[in-house]
Amino acid sequence: MTTAEQTWTESTTEVAGLGVRYLQAGDGPNVVVLHHSSGNLGWIPFYEALSRNFTVTVPDLPGYGQSERPVWAREPRDIAILVDRFLAKVAPEDVVLVGLGFGGFIAAELASMHQERLASLVLVGAAGLQPDEGEILDQMLIDYAEYMSAGFRDEEHYREMFGEEVAKEVRELWDFSREMTARLSWKPYMFNRRLPQVLGEVGTPTLVVYGGEERVIPLACARQYADLLPNATLEIVEGAGHYLDYEEPEALATLIAGHAGG
């Protein structure tokens, strides 16, 4: 992939008076991907792989990256409401909603309030539930590099992705994203005790995917999601970490195509 052969477009739409930027490419059924709490790095190979089978839309979540900050937002559910309104404009029905990590938390919240919009749901290393075993890794108490590298199966794969010295733009993105995450999910950190109570109502076909070497969100959460959602399939990608989209773009895209029939 090079910037010279850009395959994707960049657009902005307005939701609740705020600009939301989104990247888009491909053809076929609508897939919308919600990014990690560390922000959207741009058009990564995972999106490119998905775009072979789908029309892929990747918004910067409100308050992240190039999307304006809803200063009033206080919890992930607020962002889920805004994303629902974003979908109303960009991909109003039969959406395959893919949530990565924190984006999975938003996606689950959205499904709990508006599943009629969704053809299917994919939760990848999703936050949102209080693990019944282990604890969610707290990014607020460690350095960015330590947090991000914990999302990979090992240090080597982290370096492969971000290099020996992480680029300044990426550090800025992490710093900026972390501030927004701190506004939304400071306490409790990365889960909502009210979410599991309503997931039983979500009949959307759901694929729950976690890496077998997950060190950010305890694997217990994968099982909890699969148990709570009545129509869920659980898939563990052996050897992979939290950032399946960075580490295993092709495998993840294939799993999603298999689940959503793109």
Partner 1 sequence: MFIGYFTERPYQDQKSGYFGATGRDIADLGISNSEYDPRLGSELYNRYLDEKVYAEEMGFDGVMLNEHHSTPFCMGGVVNVEAAILARITKRAKIVILGNVLPIWDDPLWLAEELAEIDMISRGRLVTGWVRGTGRESVAHNAQSPFNWERFQEAHDLVLAAWTKPGPFRWEGEHYNYRYVNPWAKTYQQPHPQIWIPGVMSRNTVKWAAEHRYPYVMLATDLEPTKNSYDYYTEVANEQGYEAGTQHRSYLFKVHVDETEELADQAARKYVEGPSNPFLEGNQGIVRPYLQNLPGMTSRTNLLPTVTSYTQARARGRLQEHEQARTIEEAKAARSADQFGSYENQLDRMSIITGTPKTVIPKIRHVLEYLRPGSIFFWDGDGAMDHDDAMRSLRLMGEEVIPATREMAKELDLKSPFEVDTQTNEPIEQEEVVAAGGQ
Q: Does 159 bind partner 1 (CB under 8 A)?
A: no
Comparing CA positions, the residue from 8, 22, 23, 33 lying closest to residue 260 is 33
Candidate ranges 122-130, 169-177, 191-199, 212-220; the one touching partner 1 (CB under 8 A): 169-177
Q: Does 155 bind partner 1 (CB under 8 A)?
A: no
CA distance 231 to 97: 15
How far separated are the first and last CA of the chain, in Å rounded?
Answer: 22
DSSP 108-119: HHHHHHHGGGEE
Comparing CA positions, the residue from 177, 193, 100, 195 lying closest to residue 139 is 177
- Residue 90's contacts (CB-CB under 8 Å, 6 or more residues apart) are 13, 22, 32, 57, 59
Supply 55's token pair: 């029309």
CB 173 within 8 A of CB 41: yes
Closest approach, Cβ 116 to partner 1, in A, equals 33
Binding test (CB under 8 A) with partner 1, winner from 14, 92, 134, 182:
182
Closest approach, Cβ 164 to partner 1, in A, equals 10
DSSP 39-77: ---SS-HHHHHHTTTSEEEEEPPTTSTTSPP-TT--SHH
Candidate ranges 124-132, 176-184, 223-231, 232-240; the one touching partner 1 (CB under 8 A): 176-184
Comparing CA positions, the residue from 201, 200, 215 lying closest to residue 247 is 215
Q: Does 179 bind partner 1 (CB under 8 A)?
A: yes
Candidate ranges 84-92, 104-112, 141-149, 226-234; the one touching partner 1 (CB under 8 A): 141-149
Q: Does 160 bind partner 1 (CB under 8 A)?
A: no
Binding test (CB under 8 A) with partner 1, winner from 30, 68, 101, 237:
68
Binding test (CB under 8 A) with partner 1, winner from 181, 192, 204, 224:
181
Q: Does 140 bind partner 1 (CB under 8 A)?
A: yes
Pairing of strands 9-15, 18-26: antiparallel
Binding test (CB under 8 A) with partner 1, winner from 66, 115, 233, 254:
66
Supply 244's token pair: 């399946």
User: Which of the residues 33 through 62 are near partner 1 (CB under 8 A)?
Assistant: 41-44
Nearer CB in complex with partner 1: 19/92: 19
Binding test (CB under 8 A) with partner 1, winner from 88, 132, 186, 200:
186
User: Which of the residues 219 through 238 are near partner 1 (CB under 8 A)?
Assistant: none
Binding mask 187-226 for partner 1 (x = CB under 8 A): x---------------------------------------
Comparing CA positions, the residue from 190, 16, 18, 20 lying closest to residue 108 is 190
